[in-house]
Structure 1
């Protein structure tokens, strides 16, 4: 029997959970991400930007769904843009796309367990992991209900459950609060804070106030380029009373976009 070395059992170490340099990604023929630099560590990061800014394309590239068209992308210390071990990386990823498919006749539990199996989780650990994920998103009472019977908000929460079932080191959530009521959004913020203690979480949303409330770091993109990265307080500091928006965060967001479009940022 081969002896396993300490190096093989030691936890992986890397400077950044997500590290992109001059990243380029195409959406069809369009270069939706164009020379973007991004570095993300453990914590909750909010991804903001107007429609067409490249947010979804960026999320899909980080989820290894889309191939990069240029630049360098490293996830959890593994190069994704070259010949990295994508299977190893994907086992440590959680991803909720804007629109996701499911078998309507699956129960919530079956759906989450099936996604855990696709992520190559150990078979013996899947039932307990699925149960815990369902509980964390508040769907315990609906665990054995068929997916086709759920409301839109419940389907979204089931989607979040499948994204977190493997306790991912990198969690990517694209518009996760669509369909959630105000109380559910508050619960979701608490869940993000809990996950962000040990994982790198990136949440794409149009709701600036959700980012300010739930995230410790804000990433703003426009036309496929990084416009701003910093704390919510730093984002708010860029706004002035005359800028569009109903809150300091919205005014800071508007001011940064205006300056970027005018070539001042």
Structure 2
């Protein structure tokens, strides 16, 4: 039987950037955690770095439409995030893993990912196959029917990644996705990131600079809610010197850039 194709399915992408922020300000409680941020993100994997309290989680929550901007302009997938008008369409095309994932302990992995697919308003006929594909991609095939309360912390994190990618999002936001993953799982996750970034905009917030260098094509460094630096992993590594703190060239580059942004003088 021939299916009628919706116009949205064949419409040409009309936006240059998946994320476009101008003078973005976002509150976290009473504090302005993101202050006047200008940012452009396109297809590829972007690592989001910054010290504790820099505003990384608040920025990701704003991009995930969990919180609304206090000021400035934010466009996601070509639509304004300022009001409710286009948010439903944006959320259908989003994938989001929060820092602290809420879940129902008695759900199985499959049930939880299916539930999240339903919340994202995926077509019912596509959900079973998409759920299995997402579970397979995070290496939980043999635990698909295990209850969440029986899983280790690393397995729960991989379940969170599965629900974030089940709808093949155009914009994927991951807040500390490698917490609880062992070294082998982190290597597999890096490979998955590179695959996802081939045709989607992926933003990964992490404190692990080496993961960013290994898996990301671009780096965003923020400090005190402001953009401190943006470039490639290679450029990040080149910023460091022998006198900078860190156990690797990438970590030394990171600390050098933070020091420079703060106006500190290297001793």
TM-score by shorter chain over 0.5: yes
- TM-score when normalising by structure 2: 0.95
- TM-score when normalising by structure 1: 0.96
- Give the Cα separation in 2 of the matches to 1:140 and 1:165: 14
Q: Secondary structure at the match of 1:221?
A: strand
Q: Secondary structure at the match of 1:153?
A: helix
Q: How does 1:110-149 map to 2 (within 5 A)?
A: 110-149=111-150
Aligned alpha-carbon RMSD (Å): 1.6
Report what 2:157 is aligned to: 156
- More deviation, 251-260/76-85: 76-85
Shift of 1:100: 1.1
- Give the Cα separation in 1 of the matches to 2:25 and 2:8: 34
- Give the Cα separation in 1 of the matches to 2:85 and 2:39: 19
Report what 1:236 is aligned to: 237
Q: Secondary structure at the match of 2:26?
A: strand
Report what 1:250 is aligned to: 251
Shift of 1:7: 8.2
Q: How does 1:60-75 map to 2 (within 5 A)?
A: 60-75=61-76
Unaligned runs of 5+ in 1: none
- Give the Cα separation in 1 of the matches to 2:94 and 2:21: 16
Unaligned runs of 5+ in 2: none
Shift of 1:120: 0.4
* C-alpha distance 176-8 of structure 1, shift in aligned 2 (>3 A): closer
- Give the Cα separation in 2 of the matches to 1:5 and 1:106: 34
Shift of 1:248: 1.1
| Number of aligned residues | 262
Q: Show CA shifts across 1:82-116 (max 9, x none).
A: 45410000000000001011111100000000000
* C-alpha distance 242-91 of structure 1, shift in aligned 2 (>3 A): same
- Give the Cα separation in 2 of the matches to 1:5 and 1:103: 34
